[in-house]
Amino acid sequence: MNDSLVIDSRALAVLQEAMGEDFAELVLIYIESTEEILTNLLKAFNQQDVVTFTLEAHSLKSSSANLGGFALSKMSAELEMAGRLGQLPESEAFIKPLKETFARMTKELQQYQN
């Protein structure tokens, strides 16, 4: 995988081939659901809700990996593990790299579809 990319294009190509015409809808659903997950992660952090935080991090980890977004998946896995240990990040700063990586992933997904 190219270090400047956040998506593994080989994994994405395999998924696109398997999904066929449904691939575009899958991408749209991923983008919409990830926006909601990021909102929920921040809300859970602000409410100090470790259970919800952990579940949302797990969802983000899995869905991102399914689309070849291993960078975002790895970041989410670290948050999930912390949550499983009953620990939340020290500040809201955790969300910024997630949002930045997601924005790059969204851009790459849109370019991939064209």
Residue-wise pLDDT for 17-76, tens only, equals: 999 999 999 999 999 999 999 999 999 999 999 999 999 999 999 999 999 999 999 999
Establish if 2 belongs to a structural domain.
no
pLDDT > 60? residue 3? no
Residue 29 domain-assigned (yes or no): yes
For residue 10, the tally of other CB atoms under 10 A from its CB is 10
CATH number, residue 16: 1.20.120
Report the number of distinct structural domains present in the chain.
1
Terminal CA-CA length for the chain: 20
Tell whether 3 is covered by a domain: no
- pTM for the predicted model, two decimal places: 0.91
Closest CA to 102 of 11, 2, 6, 3: 6
Residue 1 has pLDDT above 50, yes or no: no
Per-residue confidence (pLDDT) for residue 114, from 0 to 100: 65
Q: Is residue 42 included in any domain, yes or no?
A: yes
- What is the residue range of 33's domain? 9-113
Amino acid in position 31: I
The CB-based long-range contact list for 76-84 (8 Å cut-off, 24+ gap) reads 79/41, 79/53, 80/54, 83/50, 83/51, 83/53, 83/54, 83/57, 84/54
